[in-house]
């Protein structure tokens, strides 16, 4: 008889977020209510799919297809270097955090459109 895998808790996800930030030289967004919303989405996704699928993007539910958007996504480093935050705003650069700027701004999507849901047409601010 196969045993059911125990669901991850919000506390475990918070630890994952802190460890990922530390390991990459980033800072987890210090806005606790904002970070909690994203942590809840990550917790839901890891319990549903078995991996920390980015809560700000639509995935396929297939780890191989979603590999680029497993948190922290492969786009996070470039986003943080250029904009001071990842796409979701979960992770910030140390510089942005040191300035006390926790406001998350909308930044351009780096994920190729062929991997994401159809979006705005090219030329649109999000296209």
Burial profile 61-99: b = 16 or more Cβ within 10 angstroms, e = fewer: eeeeebebbbbbbebbeebbeebbbbbbbbbbbeebbee
The structural domains of the chain, with segments of one domain joined by +, span 18-111
pLDDT value at position 5? 72
Q: What 3-state class would DSSP assign to 122? A: coil
User: According to the model, what pLDDT value does residue 113 have?
Assistant: 77
Determine the Cα–Cα distance for residues 48 and 89; give it in Å rounded to an integer: 22
Instruction: Report pLDDT for 79.
Output: 98
6-21 confidence digits (pLDDT tens) = 899 999 999 999 999 9
Q: Can you give the pLDDT at residue 23? A: 98
Confidence of residue 2 (pLDDT cuts 50, 70, 90): low
Q: Which pLDDT does position 115 carry in this prediction? A: 62
List the structure tokens of 87.
């796409």
Q: How confident is the model at residue 127 (pLDDT cuts 50, 70, 90)?
A: very low
Q: Tell me the whole-structure pTM to 2 decimals.
A: 0.84
- DSSP state for residue 73 in the 8-state scheme: P
- Write the pLDDT tens digit of every residue in 34-91: 999 999 999 999 999 999 999 999 999 999 999 999 999 999 999 999 999 999 999 9
Helix (H, G, I), strand (E, B) or coil at 47: helix
- At 117 the pLDDT is 52
Q: What is the CATH code of the structural domain delimited by 18-111? A: 3.90.460.10
């Amino acid at each position: 008889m196969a045993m059911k895998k125990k669901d991850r808790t919000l506390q475990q996800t918070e630890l994952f977020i802190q460890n990922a930030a530390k390991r990459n030289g980033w800072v987890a967004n210090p806005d606790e209510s904002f970070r909690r919303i994203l942590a809840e989405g990550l917790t839901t996704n890891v319990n549903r799919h078995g991996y920390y699928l980015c809560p700000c993007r639509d995935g396929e539910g297939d780890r191989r297809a979603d590999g680029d958007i497993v948190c922290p996504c492969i786009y996070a480093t470039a986003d943080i270097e250029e904009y001071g935050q990842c796409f979701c705003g979960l992770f910030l650069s140390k510089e942005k955090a040191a300035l006390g700027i926790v406001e998350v701004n909308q930044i351009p999507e780096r994920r190729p459109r062929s991997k994401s849901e159809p979006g705005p047409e090219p030329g649109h601010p999000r296209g």
